[in-house]
Amino acid sequence: MQIEKRLEELGIELPPPATPAGNYVTTVQTGNLIFTSGHGPGGGEGPLYKGQVGTDLTVKQGYQSARQVGLCLLSTLKNALGDLDRIKRIVKVVGFVNSAPTFTEQPSVVNGVSDLLVDVFGDNGRHTRSAVGMVQLPGSIPVEVELVIEIES
């Protein structure tokens, strides 16, 4: 229960796990890898923002939204695995940012989830990453994130 203890030290309480909004599942395991579906912000700490970063929202608000998405992803993983200590490494983060046409700071926004994962998992939270801008996201959410993680065999 090292990760649970770490979450407690950080003052983090996970929101309820996500439920699919359509005909898909939230995680798929193949071998020792788990792929998550795209998650948006929901529940957890701070306000839930809507809109485009660079038009309706600041980089800081986008960062906070990305952090909330990270909390939702951790909740989904805990639900799927039963224990977050089974996570060996965060392999990849793919972040989609609802961006104004001239907005170019997507990496700064996606740092919200990246920083959370490193805070929680230490060096095992360091990952490869993509941070891309999108003209719109479902429900006008500011950030959507997918993960690939490696679990203990």
Q: Which amino acid does the sequence have at 38?
A: G
Tell me the pLDDT tens digit for each residue of 90-107. 999 999 999 999 999 999
Q: Which residues span the domain enclosing 9?
A: 2-13+32-151
Decide if 22 is inside a domain: no
pLDDT at 135 over 90: yes
Q: Find the Cα–Cα–Cα–Cα dihedral 147, 9, 47, 146, rounded to 10°.
A: 0
Q: Is the pLDDT of residue 112 over 90?
A: yes
pLDDT confidence of residue 42: 82
pTM of the model: 0.95
Contact, 114 vs 129, CB < 8 A? yes
- For residue 42, give the CATH number of its domain: 3.30.1330.40
**Domain count across the chain:** 1
